[in-house]
Structure 1
Amino acid sequence: MMGTVQAFGIGYSMTMLAIAIAIVIVLCICFKIHAFVSLTTASLFLALTHNMELAKIVVAFEGGLGKTLGFLAPILALGAILGKLMEVSGAAERLARTLIRILGQSRAHWAMMIVGYVCGIPVFLQVGIILLTPLMFSIVKESKLPLIQVGMALVVALTTVHCIVPPHPAAMAVTDLLKADVGKVIFFGLIVGLPAACIAGPIYGKFIAKRLPPVPLTGAYADTEPRKESELPPFGRTLFVILLPLLLMIAKTVVELNIDKHNPPAYMTYVNFIGTPMIALFISAVVAYFVLGLGRGFNWDQLGRFSEAGMAPLASIMLVIGAAGALNQIITDSGVGLVLKQVLTSIQISPLILAWVIAITLRFALGSATVAMMTAAGLILPVLGANPQIDPALMAIVIGAGAIGASQVTDSGFWFVKESLGIPMGSMYATYTAGTTIAAVLGLGGTLLLQMFL
């Protein structure tokens, strides 16, 4: 690899990398080519322009894709099952109704933020919107609060937790790529993300709602009727099932911090096993089958159909993440990673800030938070190796924070929010784009502040 770097030079390698990223952007945005094909094209271009042997290109691509998905595929599947059971059982609706009773109708937007932040942990952004938007409309009708005020609290919370808290796919993939401790990423991510979601969601949402024309209740899910109380699961069981995977993974990290690492007790074998993401989510999915499935009157045939329906949308996201992992492997094996390390470490700026800038720039250009996060992680990985004093968990969080912001027309989530809530195009930039960007900036600030205490 060093010979490749010397043969081509820094300028050549960085130019080819820039063109490879441009290929992804142009194919995705201008030609509407699927991100998997775009990332694969960029990988082949980068490999061929650095004279990688054809056989080694295939090995590197397959290795990067397989290594990424080998870790992530079961986590995605189990998370999808957990999210689907939350949907069909009414778990999210139970959580929201209980919080609104506690906080009061006048603080319904705060209740929706909490619901989005908690329920968004095991489900995809789009699934969370489908799951919670009908409930949001009924709350707007009852509380008489502006739709933008309540809607912003929900969608900003969902977007924030989607980008920075495992077991979300991109957050988990970045955590694995950077070799960060999952428990730390979850714990630190929740700490950094909560104030960001609070300020960019309920607080900014209330501020901007007073300055924009009222939005009528005409979104895609405005006519959905809420469920009866008897159809919803108990609050305690609901909260336990939703938080169980996080509790298991965080508990593993807490135990590890309080033992003698040179002479670990025998029970650590079991703690490490139960606290790994795949096993933690498997346990949680099994518990959900009984608590939110059989316990709510569903039979095994229905649970099987729910599981299939939950996993059906995974194919596209898995292919995208796998191709991003392959591109990262090509960057390493072609020698471009060494050049990137040399260039980025010479920039006189905090590596955390640098990672955030890369992530939010790619997010703005590509639209996809997942592709932006995976690409940013691959680019910053050589820098992380040259700065061992930086906790990889903080790097994973700051990359996720950058990917929260700058959502605009290239982002499918932007349009999903617009159509689901019925917000006019003219108001989307002042609401969702601005809100996600505020959350991204606050996420960066929170990460830098957290770094001072570690």
Structure 2
Amino acid sequence: MSVFFAVGLIVAAIVAIMVLISRLRLNPFIALLTISLAVALIAGMPADKVVASFEAGAGHVLGHVGTVIALGTMLGKMLTESGGADQIAQTISRAAGRRRVDWAMMVIGLLVGLPVFFEIGFVLLIPIAFVLADRTQTPLLRVALPMGAALSVTHALIPPHPAALLAVSAYHADIGRTILWGILIGTPIAVIAGPLFGRFAAVRVPITEHNPLAEQFVRSTPPDNMPSFAITVFTIMLPVVLMLVGSAANSVSTPHGGLNTLLHFFGNTDIALLVATLMSFYVLGTARGFSQDTVLRFTNECLGPTALIMLLVGAGGGFGRELVDSGVSKTVTDAALNIHMPLLVLAWLLAVVVRVAAGSATVAMATASSIMGPILVHGGGAAPELMVLVTGAGSVAFGPLNDAGFWQIKEYLGLTVSQTVKTWSVLETLIAVFGLIFCLLASLVA
């Protein structure tokens, strides 16, 4: 398979998906499924393996993200119905002022995003973004995009995220210096891609689509007996704390011992979210005067609008898996490796190529670092810590349609495909491009 054929196939697939959804008004899941299968067949994959590949990709993504979305939506519903989201929104509005709520959401995103995956931080914070935008009469994009930018920056650039840790190991980088450089470089990137771009995009991309999620996360008026700010924040931060404890388990207990196993168990993503959701049923539910039947109704009715989100997230994973299994991704990646350029630029470009070809930022960072690691060890020429950061920056480039996160953003924010490209894809590309620029500048002194 030639590289021109592979690149052309990826471009044609993305254009076809956009046309089917935006112009022909085909259901997004059907469009993704159809194009994914067509791409695999055109690339020469045996017909008997095409469907299995899609199912494997969709199942792998949904195995993690589906549970996160379900539990996060239930927790968000309890925050909304109890008035907890209003309590946080009012506190943020008073502290930051109505004109700076986007800056406040960026800071919150940076703090929450440090220990958790993007998807988890997003489902924890999106109810607050909906309520804050409504109460302050601020365009949703101006509030949500800075939050998303901060979460994406921390996911890509700052350990202890798993992909970043893999890159630290592959490049033999010092984790302390990597975190320090990540904060120094990531913070201005979050500002550029967050509040600055968010204000620009909110004016030029008006949201016109009906959004049932916004309706269920925003009450017409806050309840009289809202939970305190402290208990609400504790409920949101509980899964974050549990995941931090889980990641530090080997440092505070004997590996494979009883306590170590217990800490890892409760630090698991799904378990941490489950514990917080169960706690919310009491502190934000029955303790606020809701009956058990009412809490059950809340948790049942909130899942309806997430059905399409889960299907699209899974389909995005299936699309990415088809590109990998058909050999399209490998063809494009091999071509990138044959380009002779500085190591920082090559690591960034390779991560970008894998990101576009496979969709997943985690896969892009892990793949690029595993390829570039031996090259750096034997050849040198760049600071290992900056190699980690530049690889992470490239891994989020473009926010392509074969990334499950693209469809999560689209559905949660009520955007069309073209609007998601104009906002989220551009935001992710800003992170990638400025990540490369700042890493190249830092290499002059590192």
1:403 pairs with one of 392, 399, 404: 399
Q: 2:230 maps to what in 1?
A: 236
Check if 1:43 corresponds to 2:36: yes
> Structure 1: how far apart are the matches of 2:197 and 2:19?
33
Q: 2:372 maps to what in 1?
A: 387
2:148 pairs with one of 146, 151, 159: 159
Q: CA deviation at 1:281?
A: 0.7
Q: 1:365 maps to what in 2?
A: none
Change (3 A) 1:69 1:414: closer
Q: 1:323 maps to what in 2?
A: 315
Q: CA deviation at 1:17?
A: 3.6
Change (3 A) 1:51 1:15: same
> Structure 2: how far apart are the matches of 1:77 and 1:451?
43
Check if 1:303 corresponds to 2:295: yes
User: In percent, how many aligned pairs have the same letter?
Assistant: 27
Q: 1:340 maps to what in 2?
A: 332
Q: 1:143 maps to what in 2?
A: none
- What is the CA deviation profile of residues 130-188 of structure 1, one whole-angstrom value per residue up to 9, with x for unaligned ones? 33222213xxxxxxxxx57xx7752333332565678xxx9xxxx8899969xx9xx99
Check if 1:227 corresponds to 2:222: yes
Instruction: Report 1:55-454 matches (<5 A).
Output: 55-102=48-95, 110-111=103-104, 121-123=121-123, 127-137=127-137, 154-161=143-150, 163=152, 195-198=188-191, 226-227=221-222, 230-256=224-250, 265-347=257-339, 348=341, 349-352=345-348, 355=351, 374=359, 382-388=367-373, 399-400=395-396, 402-403=398-399, 416=414
> Structure 1: how far apart are the matches of 2:263 and 2:444?
30
Contact 2:149–2:193 (8 Å) recurs in 1: no
> Structure 2: how far apart are the matches of 1:25 and 1:337?
21
Name the amino acid aligned to 1:72.
V
Contact 2:17–2:31 (8 Å) recurs in 1: yes
TM-score of the two chains, using structure 1 as the length reference? 0.65
Name the amino acid aligned to 1:227.
P
- What is the CA deviation profile of residues 187-235 of structure 1, one whole-angstrom value per residue up to 9, with x for unaligned ones? 99x95776555556557789x89xx9xx9xxxx99x986536x421111
Q: 1:368 maps to what in 2?
A: none
Change (3 A) 1:244 1:35: same
Q: CA deviation at 1:240?
A: 0.8
> Structure 2: how far apart are the matches of 1:432 and 1:328?
18
Change (3 A) 1:237 1:195: farther
Contact 1:134–1:226 (8 Å) recurs in 2: no
> Structure 2: how far apart are the matches of 1:379 and 1:200?
20
Name the amino acid aligned to 2:286.
L
SS at match of 1:33: coil
Contact 2:69–2:123 (8 Å) recurs in 1: no
Change (3 A) 1:51 1:373: closer
Question: Which region of structure 1 is more displaced relative to structure 2, 24-33 or 393-402?
Answer: 393-402
Contact 1:90–1:232 (8 Å) recurs in 2: yes
> Structure 2: how far apart are the matches of 1:232 and 1:388?
52
Contact 1:122–1:242 (8 Å) recurs in 2: no
TM-score of the two chains, using structure 2 as the length reference? 0.66
Q: CA deviation at 1:449?
A: 8.9
Stretches of structure 2 that go unaligned for 5 or more consecutive residues are 113-119, 168-174, 375-383, 401-408
Change (3 A) 1:328 1:417: closer
SS at match of 1:247: helix
Q: 1:140 maps to what in 2?
A: none
> Cα RMSD between the aligned structures?
5.0
Name the amino acid aligned to 2:81.
V
Change (3 A) 1:68 1:177: farther
Q: CA deviation at 1:323?
A: 1.6
Question: Which region of structure 1 is more displaced relative to structure 2, 55-64 or 344-353?
Answer: 344-353
> Structure 1: how far apart are the matches of 2:239 and 2:276?
6
Q: 1:33 maps to what in 2?
A: 26
Contact 1:99–1:111 (8 Å) recurs in 2: yes
> Structure 1: how far apart are the matches of 2:358 and 2:390?
14
Contact 1:249–1:275 (8 Å) recurs in 2: yes
Question: Which region of structure 1 is more displaced relative to structure 2, 304-313 or 249-258?
Answer: 249-258
